[in-house]
Amino acid sequence: MAVAMTNITTDRIDADHVPEGRKGQQLENGLPFVWSEIPVSTPKDVAIARQLAGIAAGQLFASPARRQKTILIASELAQNHLAHATQNGMIRMSGMYLNGIPVITIASLDEGPGIPNVEKALEDGFSTSGGLGIGLGTVKRLSNRLHICSMQFGLSPCPRPPVYKNYTTIVSATIEEQPSDIFNKPKGPSLHVSGLVRPCPGQTQSGDTICLQDDGSFCRMALIDATGHGETAAIIARDAARLLEDLPVSHEPDQVIEALNAALSGSNGASVQVLSIDYRLKKILAVGVGNAACTIYSAGKGHIVVPRPGLVGNMHTPPGQHPIQMASINDIAEDLLIVMHSDGVLHPPDLTDYLSNRASAAIWSQILFQPKNTPMDDSSLAVLRWL
C-alpha cells in the first residue's frame, strides 16, 4: 500500500488485551456511543468541533491524555478547512466500543481542493492549518491509526462510486483508550475494521449497534438493527450485545442467530447480520435475518448475503426445515471488502470495479455512510477490509 494509507498499520483486535473489568463496562451502562457532524466554514465551527471532541472523549475515555489528544486532532482537522478554504468541509466524529475497546474516529471530509502531496503533508513540523501549526504529521502521531485519501489520481486516490459525494480528501484519525502492540505485528495482510452508528435524529439512544469480537483464530462481526428507535430499541440492542459478548467467537453464525432469537424472545425483535471469518481456513460464513444487509467482495466478485424474512426474537421455523441458510465463501482473497448496514443507510451500488483501490475500511466507511432521512431511522454501517 502507498505511504499515505499505511503510515500506521492495523491488525486484528485482540480481545485478551482488554482487562475483564473493562470488557463489560459498556454493557453495564448501556451502549454508549457518540455522533456529531460539524460543517466548518468559520472559526466558531472550529471551536464547536473542539468542544464536541472533548465531550465525546469524556463519554468514552477514562484517560485525560486520550481526551486531550482527541481535542487536538479535532481542532487541527477543523482548522485545515479554514486554512485551505475547502468546499463543503465537514468534521464527522463517531465513537463506540469495538471488541471491548473504546474507540473514537474523527474524520475530515471535503470536496476540494485536495492535498497535492500527502507524503509531504505528513512530515512533522509541516503546518497544514496556519492555526495551531501542529500539522498532519502530529495528527498521525497522536492517532492510533490514520488513513488519508486525496484527489482522483496519485498514490492514494479517494474511491468515487456513483451516487455518493465526490470527496476530494478524506482524513480519518482513530483514537483508542487502550492501544495495543497488536498494531505493530510483522508486515502482512491484516483486517481493517470500521463502523459508524448514528441515532435517529432527535434521539439520544440508538437501537443499531455493531459488535466485533476477535480471538486471533476467528473474527465475528454482527450488526444489530432493533425494531423502532429510542430507549426501547436501545435496550434490545444492549441485550443482543450482552449475549454476543458471552458466546464463544468460534460459534457459527447460524448458532449465533438461534441464540439471539431465544434471548430476544418477547421483545420487538431485531434485524441482524452475523459474519464469521476463520483466519486459518480463510473462510467466511454469514447469515442475515430481516432488513439488515451484507455484501462480501472477494476475488473480484460480489456475494450478497440474502437475509431470511422476519425478525430475530420471533422467528418460527416450520417442522422439517432448517432455521437458517448460511452463505459460505472459501479461499478469501486479499482484496476482501465486506459492507454491512442497517436499512437506515442507502444500499451501496456494486463495488466490484473499485476493489483495485486499496482504500482502507476507514475510508470506505466514510464514503458509504449515507443515511436515509425519510423515513427517519437509526443508521449503522460496518466495513471490513483485508489489506
pLDDT at 2: 23
Q: Are residues 246 and 152 in the same domain?
A: no
CATH code: domain of residue 52: 3.30.565.10
pLDDT tier for residue 29 given thresholds of 50, 70 and 90 = very low
pTM of the shown model: 0.87
Locate 162 and state its grid cell: 456513483
Q: Are residues 229 and 258 in the same domain?
A: yes
Q: Max Cα separation, the chain?
A: 69
Q: What DSSP state is assigned to residue 9?
A: -
Q: Are residues 232 and 137 in the same domain?
A: no
In 53-140, DSSP assigns E strands to: 90-98, 101-110
- 184-218 pLDDT, tens digit per residue, is 444 446 788 999 999 998 888 899 999 999 888 99
Domain range spanning residue 374? 189-386
Q: Are residues 325 and 344 in the same domain?
A: yes
Work out the mean pLDDT of the chain and round it to a whole number.
84
Count the domains in the chain: 2
Q: Report residue 278 CA to chain centroid gap.
A: 20
Spatial separation of the C-alpha atoms in residues 240 and 262, rounded to whole Å = 10
Q: Are residues 13 and 55 in the same domain?
A: yes
Spatial separation of the C-alpha atoms in residues 15 and 118, rounded to whole Å = 33
Locate 63 and state its grid cell: 484517560
pLDDT tier for residue 126 given thresholds of 50, 70 and 90 = low
**Closest to 147 (Cα-Cα) out of 46, 33, 3, 12:** 3
Q: Are residues 346 and 297 in the same domain?
A: yes
pLDDT at 75: 94
Q: Are residues 177 and 193 in the same domain?
A: no
pLDDT at 322: 55
Of 181, 202, 228, the one marking the end of a domain is 181
Is residue 245 a contact partner of residue 24, using CB atoms and an 8 Å limit?
A: yes
Q: Are residues 206 and 253 in the same domain?
A: yes
- 204-260 pLDDT, tens digit per residue, is 889 999 999 988 899 999 999 999 988 999 999 999 999 999 999 999 999 999 999
Spatial separation of the C-alpha atoms in residues 322 and 162, rounded to whole Å = 38
Of 159, 181, 203, the one marking the end of a domain is 181
Spatial separation of the C-alpha atoms in residues 3 and 22, rounded to whole Å = 34
CATH code: domain of residue 221: 3.60.40.10
Q: Are residues 272 and 326 in the same domain?
A: yes
Quote the crossing angle between the two packed helices 230-246 and 253-263, to the nearest 10°: 130
Q: Are residues 171 and 32 in the same domain?
A: yes
pLDDT at 28: 46
Q: Write the Ramachandran bin of 309: left for phi over 0, alpha for psi from -120 to 50, otherwise beta.
A: beta
Q: Are residues 7 and 146 in the same domain?
A: yes
Query: Who wins on pLDDT, 137 or 128?
Result: 137
Q: Taking 50 as the threshold, does the pLDDT of residue 5 lie above it?
A: no
Spatial separation of the C-alpha atoms in residues 220 and 33, rounded to whole Å = 20
